[in-house]
Structure 1
Amino acid sequence: MAKKDEGKSTSKSRGQPTKYKPEYVTQVEKLCLLGATDKDIADFFEVAESTINNWKIEYPEFLESIKKGKLLADANVANSLYKRALGYEAPDIDIRVIDNQIVETPLIKHYPPDPTSAIFWLKNRQPDKWRDKQIQEVSGTVTNQNINLSNDEFRVIAKELLEKV
């Protein structure tokens, strides 16, 4: 005798239809390039953060776009931090008014090394060598006056303490 389907749906789709659209792949990469977190992405697409996590599983191209966007954004920040740590030169324009005429002069502006950026870079890249070490020394002795109490003496003290509470 054949088994009856016990009320289970043969359809794979359950719950609400997904809000996911293929164009989200390019949109999410751009959002990540702007520094968006998963929460920001969820807010943008007007879904819960758990939905974003589900989309990462169900749509591999969506996950890859997030990874790519975040990686590029992090690389841009790391590059800027690196430049600041070492110092750099960048083109600039000097604008002045001379004899009632606006004169624009192109120039190269020098930005000196930034020690704070260098310290931050080193602490994060080589934490074993550069992190702030906190050495704490303890002096004195530790004594426990109750170490030689018998079980009965300990119970009496515990009972007295409980009565106070």
Structure 2
Amino acid sequence: MTAGRPSLYQPEYAEQARKLCRLGATDSDMADFFGIGTTTYYRWRKEHPDFAAAVTEGKDVCDKQVEQALHRRAVGFEYEAVRVFMPAGAKDAVLVRYPVQVLPDVGAAQHWLRFRRPKEWSERRENTDGLDLAEMLAQARARVVADRAAHGRAGDD
């Protein structure tokens, strides 16, 4: 630690940091919560391994929850909903349970695949042949035309 003012860090801050990170707190949120600047927050992480480990563990838990939610959204899911009806003349409400199907979300699936399988799904694919996009499209069109001609389907469009 450097000479100067004593650190405001307290050992119990590690558990508070873990809990805050599990709730989705950012580094800036953490600094605000502890009443310190972000530079001090990062110094605490460097100087106090227990604090750093707590932040990492808390963020991992939160990140896994988001990852699971994104995956569910990408592949679709079903849940049970309840609707409350109050029929005319009835004393009690009627609860009706029914399934709700959430369809897969293409945007979520693309996002998932771009990060999990970047070679196959990134928007910027590396072209090892040195061709630009127009050349690649021209070559692909030429292959389609050649394939159609070879199979007697030259006019198919």
| TM-score category, normalised to shorter length | 0.7 to 0.9
Shift of 1:111: 1.2
* 2:18 is the counterpart of 1:29: yes
Q: Which moved more, 1:15-24 or 1:79-88?
A: 15-24
Give 1:84's aligned residue: 73
Q: Whole-Å Cα distance in 2 between the matches of residues 83 and 13 of structure 1?
A: 48
Shift of 1:91: 2.6
The answer to which structure has the higher helix fraction is 2
* 2:92 is the counterpart of 1:105: no
Match of 1:74 among 63, 67, 84: 63
For these two proteins, the number of residue pairs brought into alignment is 127
TM-score by length of 2: 0.72
Unaligned runs of 5+ in 1: 1-11, 139-165
AA aligned to 2:122 is R
Give 1:48's aligned residue: 37
Q: Whole-Å Cα distance in 2 between the matches of residues 53 and 133 of structure 1?
A: 34
CA RMSD of superposed structures (Å):
2.1
Q: Whole-Å Cα distance in 1 between the matches of residues 54 and 79 of structure 2?
A: 31
Give 2:105's aligned residue: 114
Q: Deviations over 1:108-140 (max 9, x none)?
A: 3221111111111111111111112474559xx
Give 1:131's aligned residue: 122
TM-score by length of 1: 0.69
Q: Deviations over 1:82-129 (max 9, x none)?
A: 011111122321222222442112333221111111111111111111
AA aligned to 1:26 is E
Q: Whole-Å Cα distance in 1 between the matches of residues 134 and 107 of structure 2?
A: 29
Q: Whole-Å Cα distance in 2 between the matches of residues 137 and 77 of structure 1?
A: 38
Q: Whole-Å Cα distance in 2 between the matches of residues 28 and 37 of structure 1?
A: 10
Residue aligned with 1:65, SS: helix
Residue aligned with 1:92, SS: strand
Q: In the TM superposition, what are the counterparts of 1:153-164 in structure 2 within 5 Å? A: none
Q: Whole-Å Cα distance in 2 between the matches of residues 85 and 92 of structure 1?
A: 20
Residue aligned with 1:47, SS: coil
Q: In the TM superposition, what are the counterparts of 1:139-158 in structure 2 within 5 Å? A: none
Structure showing greater Rg: 1
